Structure 1
Amino acid sequence: MIDPTLHNTEEILRLLQLEQLDTDRYRGQSHFMGSPNVFGGQVLGQSLHAAGVTVPGRRVHSLHSLFILPGNLKLPIEYEVERVRDGGSFSTRRVVATQEGKRIFVMSASFQQEEEGLSHQKPMPPTRDPDTLESSIVKWKQSASSGRRPFQPVPVDFRADHAGDIYDGHDGKPSKQVWTKSPLALPDDALTHETLFAYVSDYGFLWTSLQPHGIRMGDPRLQIASLDHTIWFHRPFRMDEWLLFAMDSPNASGGRGLCLAHVYNRKGELVATMAQEGLIRLREKRA
């Protein structure tokens, strides 16, 4: 049993399963996360699901996406998949997400049949065992009563191996390490793990670029939004086993912040790499 006041894993798994409207056309719903806009990770995960169900027998190895317009929580989202190509080893899909006929998100994804090949990786950085770390979820719920930010249940546990939590470290460095795992055992279906990964990958990622500037969530001057998001999947993984997100921000300029992440399993295998650029615009308060 999981605590429903902390985790909504089953709800999110259902949310990522889309209703099929027609051939290569799907519809998804949204859920409230404390903002009037649709959570970017939700659109990312639903788009990956829409593309993935059209490529049986092949696993996603990369996706590249652009956030175009904020999504409206009150409206369903329609996803249309274009089957760009099915080759001998790779398949390419393009997904367009719309609301009321307007494009809010586009994604290109590539899928590959399983094969062996040359292998090397960037080593896993030193980190503490997740079982020795306190859950960030419990701290979020406790801090919600102070008015810092409203608490909403999340589908996974987060444990930060740095001073602070997944949203803001306290040491001023443009980097952080966060362990993540589903509190529920998940089915063996690879697409389930990959879509949940995509959903979770948007949690607190962009905030890494704010840490050197002492800006935290809730700052009234801040306008923040994801602009693009890329994931490369290197090796199989499970979301119900601990994954370490080692994040850093190599640059911020022009009102944008760039963030990178290498994701490792508990054995130290590099399972994915992510990149995201987002708007981090500071606006002066009006008198």
Structure 2
Amino acid sequence: MLDKSLYNTEEITRLLAVQQTDTDKFIGQSHFMGSPNVFGGQALGQSLYAACSTVPQRRPHSMHALFILPGNHQLPIEYEVERVRDGGTFSTRRVVATQEGRRIFVMSASFQAEEEGLSHQKAAPVMTDPETLPSSVKLWQQRGIASGRSFHPAPVDFRANVADDIFGGERASAVRQVWARAPMELPDDPLLHESLFAYVSDYGLLWTALQPHGIKMSDPRLQIASLDHTIWFHRPLRMDDWLLFAMESPNASGGRGLCFLHVYNQYGVLLATVAQEGLIRLRDDKK
């Protein structure tokens, strides 16, 4: 049975299934993640769900998003899909998300009819059996109880390949491996798995850029926010299978950090690649 004190999988899958209000227009509700701003993964997952709903016969192979303004978690988000092109093999869609008439997020996505082709991949890193690792989500809950801070359930279980969890702030190299899996079996709906993956892909990726500097998320000087986010879907994936999130940050400069994520299944097959750049600014309150 799903432990709803730890996991909100059912809530998030319902949240991602935006409702169609008119031709190519959709509306999605927002939810609270501990910040007054909309969680970036929500906009990623909902916009992909909306775009996919207009291309039911093809699967997405890439999506490219820009975060323009912080969204208000107390308000719904309106998504308008533009059917840019439908070709013989590929389809292109553009999605604009607005709140109170203001554009807060834009996304473009490309879809492809299934076909065979050449195949190779980046080799998977050495893997640890996720069943031997403790749940980071349970650790977050325990820490919240101990410190008196609020805890917000997650839609998937996370298990880190290090002694600390994915939110740790110890100085380390700019690489990290985390396993992720929904704590329940999900329906055989590719759109559900793809949109949930888009949602989860925004969990902790940017924080990999903080590791070489030993900066904790709780540092009062830190201002951090996603600027852009790209996903390439290489092969079909399921969010109720264990997925290895192999993260790295090749660069930080100019108040921004760049991070990459390669996603593998337990057999070492590369399923997706993610790139994200975000603001990582240290404010000096004395100025």
Pick the TM interval, shorter chain: over 0.9
The corresponding residue for 2:24 is: 24
The one-letter amino acid paired with 2:231 is I
For the pair 1:90 / 2:100, whether they are aligned, the reply is no
Which residue of structure 2 aligns with residue 250 of structure 1?
250
Offset from partner CA, 1:154-213 (integer Å, 9 cap, x none): 100000002321123635111100000001111111110000000000000100000110
Q: Distance in 2 between matches of 1:16 and 1:3?
A: 20
What's 1:264 paired with?
Answer: 264
CA distance in 2, matches of 1:215, 1:171: 7
2:222·2:282 contact (CA, 8 Å) conserved in 1? yes
Q: CA separation in 2, counterparts of 1:190 and 1:64?
A: 19
**1:180 counterpart letter in structure 2:** A
Letter in 1 for 2:264: Y
2:127 equivalent in structure 1: 127
C-alpha contact (below 8 Å) 1:148/1:218 kept by paired residues: no
**1:77 corresponds to:** 77
Amino acid corresponding to residue 235 of structure 2 in structure 1: R
SS at match of 2:191: helix
Q: Which amino acid in structure 2 is aligned with residue 202 of structure 1? A: D
Matches within 5 A, 1:1-287: 1-147=1-147, 150-168=150-168, 170-286=170-286
- Residue 12 (structure 1) shift: 0.3
Distance 1:219 1:171 in 2: 14
Q: 1:149 to 1:284 in 2, by over 3 A?
A: farther
Report the AA paired with residue 154 of structure 2: V
Sequence identity, in percent? Answer: 71
TM-score (norm 1): 0.98
Quick one: which amino acid aligns to residue 197 of structure 1? F
Deviation at 1:148, TM superposition (A): 8.1
**2:147 aligns to what SS in structure 1?**
coil
Within 2, Cα distance between the matches of 1:219 and 1:207?
A: 12
Number of residue equivalences: 287
Deviations 1:70-90 (A, max 9, x none): 000111100000000000000
After TM superposition, give the deviation of residue 146 of structure 1 in Å: 3.5
| Poorly superposed stretches of 4+, deviation over 4 Å | none
The answer to whether the 8 Å contact 1:168/1:207 transfers is no
Query: Which residues of structure 2 form unaligned runs of 5+?
Result: none
The answer to which of 40-49 and 171-180 deviates more is 171-180
Hey, what's the Cα distance between the residues in 1 that align with 2:60 and 2:217? 32
Partners of 1:169 and 1:176 within 8 A in 2: no
Q: Distance in 2 between matches of 1:69 and 1:20?
A: 23
CA deviation after TM superposition for structure 1 residue 17, in Å: 0.8
Using the alignment, how far apart are the partners of 1:46 and 1:17 within structure 2? 7
Check the 8 A contact 2:234/2:272 in 1, yes or no: yes
CA distance in structure 1 between the partners assigned to 2:112 and 2:276 by the alignment: 23
Q: Distance in 2 between matches of 1:167 and 1:233?
A: 26
**Post-superposition CA distance 1:216-266 (Å, at most 9, x none):** 111100000000000000001100000000000000000000000100011
Which SS does the other structure have where 1:138 is aligned? Answer: helix
Q: In 1, Cα distance between the equivalents of 2:153 and 2:111? A: 32
TM-superposed CA distance for 1:97, in Å, is 0.1
Amino acid across the alignment from 2:215: I
